[in-house]
Amino acid sequence: MNEPYVHKIFINKVVQDSDNEIWLSKSGLATEESSDLDRAVMAYPIKHYTHWNDETEGDTMEAGAMGENLSTLEMDEYQVYIGDSYRVGDAIIQVSEPGSIENLPSPGSLRTGWYYRVLQEGKVNAGTDMELIERPYPEWSIAACNEVMHIYKDDLRTADDLAYCSLLSNRWKRALKKRLRGF
User: Mean pLDDT for each consecutive 10-residue tract of the chain (183 residues)?
Assistant: 60 64 90 87 87 72 79 90 96 96 72 96 88 96 97 96 98 97 87
Which is nearest to 82 in space by CA: 135, 20, 32?
135
Cα 180 from Cα 174, distance rounded (Å): 10
Beta carbons of 63 and 145 less than 8 angstroms apart: no
**Per-residue model confidence (pLDDT) at position 1:** 41
DSSP labels, 46-92: TTHHHHHHHHSTTPPP-TTTT--SEEEES--TTT-BTT-EEEETTEE
Cα 145 from Cα 40, distance rounded (Å): 19
**Per-residue model confidence (pLDDT) at position 71:** 85
CATH number of the structural domain 5-138: 2.40.33.20
**Per-residue model confidence (pLDDT) at position 48:** 85
Q: What's the whole-model pTM score?
A: 0.89
Ordered by start, the domain boundaries in the chain are 5-138
Question: Quick check: helix, strand or coil at residue 100?
Answer: coil
**Per-residue model confidence (pLDDT) at position 34:** 80
